[in-house]
Amino acid sequence: MSKHIDLGQYATAALGQYFELIPGNIGADAHLSKRGMTFDTKSCEIKGVGHLCVMRMNAFMGLMKMETIVIAPTKVDMPLFNVDWVSAFGTETLIAELYDTQLEPWPGEAQKKFEEIQEEYLDVEDNESGEHWYDSVLYPVSIHKKGKGLTDRFNDAAKDYIDLFAAELAELSEPAAGKCPADLKRARVGDFARTLVENDGPAVNMMAKLFGEETMRRIVLKHMYGVE
């Protein structure tokens, strides 16, 4: 039987090939549990680049699981990147999203590399989830898929997106790539994170109801996106 990879472990190793990772201090927020739902969170500074967060959720005695990674470049002019994997009652969902939080346009040749990965999964059913506030900044080379019996393919897709993103980050971190105004770039990521909090998405609402508004804001802004 195929087994879902540990996305957090994989992303940490992929980034660790190129960058020093400095563990963040999550404190009591590292493990939160209420009403049968458990959240485990880790974060790292990606030295010279930005922020990494890994979050895992378990509910309904393991019948529903979620793993999320967020890579938030605040010192390199790359998109905001997240990967979500959800397993719910036998159906898996894989989402890999890239958001325009850049100061300059993202080169077409860079987008093409992600498009080539995306095209490998055209045969897999899309996960239709309606309209979202972030659609205007979501790059079309993102992927949203769901199905049963697709664990190996979803593992491969997640690894391909993570590997390529890490490599692109490394390339743009080279001295020859030039300096990115870190204060402006961090502000762009912060705008995205605060809009996420203000727009009451399902995950944000659930976290606020379980643990309170203050804890939700701290988890999203500090631990997930590294902007506070």
Residues 188-219 have pLDDT tens digits of: 999 999 999 998 677 888 899 999 999 999 99
Q: Does the pLDDT of residue 131 top 90, yes or no?
A: no
Q: Alpha helix locations (H) across 17-150?
A: 108-119
Is the residue at 34 inside a domain?
yes
Distances (CA, A) of 197 to 145, 192, 220: 25, 9, 7
Is the residue at 203 inside a domain?
yes
- Count of domains forming the chain: 1
The domain that contains 186 carries what CATH number? 3.40.1500.20
pTM of the model: 0.95
Are the C-beta atoms of 209 and 215 separated by less than 8 Å? no
Residue 226 pairs with which residues in a beta bridge?
none
Q: Does the pLDDT of residue 1 top 60, yes or no?
A: no
Mean pLDDT value of segment 76-85? 96
What tokens were used for 33?
Answer: 């549990």
Is the residue at 1 inside a domain?
no
Phi and psi dihedrals of 95, rounded to 5? -130, 130
- In the DSSP assignment, the letter for residue 142 is -
- Residue 198's domain comprises 7-224
Is the residue at 2 inside a domain?
no
